Structure 1
């Protein structure tokens, strides 16, 4: 991993509404398959003089033949802005949020449809039990 890499940003745009700078990143990495996003975040944070948590990178594609990758980068004005505007899954990747564990989509739908089959007083009892469980 000691091989040198070159990072170039282009199409830099300042997005005041989302409190960030956004750009396309070209990474030149000869003699390497690719560069980790974590390493890119560190280098971009040094380049833009911000904390690593304010930088987000994604969407990288390595060119055929290797040696060059292109992706997208965001540098937020503050960590709070990053937490406010970044998608939850990226915050989880970067360790800034915890993943919300919930039942699988199909299981949630099956539970909903099972509930539709309960009739009469049994349904009232089931609703009361569900309400007590949620409180």
Structure 2
């Protein structure tokens, strides 16, 4: 046995081998690709909302909750659509609802995030952060120079003393 080598029988490829699964071949016929998978997009597929950790917060004039959105056969649900559905659910106006922090679960079909339903539009504007008000269109974005431009201006002003910092450099006499 020490010098003899055993010949292995030649293996035939099998279709039921778990290590190498059989994959269907996608054929291009007449310029179009045919596939065995259904790729239709269902934008009007049903969406289920479930709320957890519901808290009534009278100091901030709102109801706050964690929202689980079940959306099978759909990639995701827009925040605007979620605001409409939550407003209907809590008998409120869409302008009084704020949603944020949504994460889609791995594999899709479920997303989780936070929602706040304010008692009034004034309470929303008073307590919501400005960037979220800008997102939903309740406030306008403050236009300011870019961060790099602000830093360059700050560093240029370091070269001057006293009131020259606010006035700018002196004009040279020619």
Question: Which residue among 101, 108, 121 is the counterpart of 1:79?
Answer: 121
Q: Which runs of 5+ in 1 are unaligned?
A: 130-135
Residue number in structure 2 paired with 1:97: 139
Query: How far has the Cα of 1:124 moved from its partner?
Result: 2.9
Residue number in structure 1 paired with 2:151: 109
- 4+ runs deviating over 2 angstroms: 123-129
Residue number in structure 1 paired with 2:111: 69
Out of 102-111 and 17-26, give the one that drifted further: 102-111
SS of the residue aligned with 1:74?
Answer: strand
Question: Which residue among 116, 127, 134 is the counterpart of 2:166?
Answer: 127
Q: Distance in 2 between matches of 1:32 and 1:117?
A: 58
Provide TM-score, normalisation by structure 2: 0.69
Provide TM-score, normalisation by structure 1: 0.87
Residue number in structure 2 paired with 1:30: 72
Q: Aligned-pair RMSD on alpha carbons?
A: 1.4
Q: Distance in 2 between matches of 1:127 and 1:31?
A: 60
Q: Which runs of 5+ in 2 are unaligned?
A: 1-42, 169-174
Question: Which residue among 44, 50, 55 is the counterpart of 1:2?
Answer: 44
Q: Is the 8 A contact 2:83 2:97 kept in 1?
A: yes
Q: Is the 8 A contact 2:51 2:68 kept in 1?
A: yes
State whether structure 2 residue 86 is matched by structure 1 residue 44: yes
SS of the residue aligned with 1:25?
Answer: strand
Q: Distance in 1 between matches of 2:166 and 2:44?
A: 62
* Rg comparison, structure with higher value: 2
Question: Which residue among 99, 112, 120 is the counterpart of 1:57?
Answer: 99
Q: Distance in 1 between matches of 2:99 and 2:132?
A: 9
Aligned residues: 126
Query: How far has the Cα of 1:10 moved from its partner?
Result: 0.9
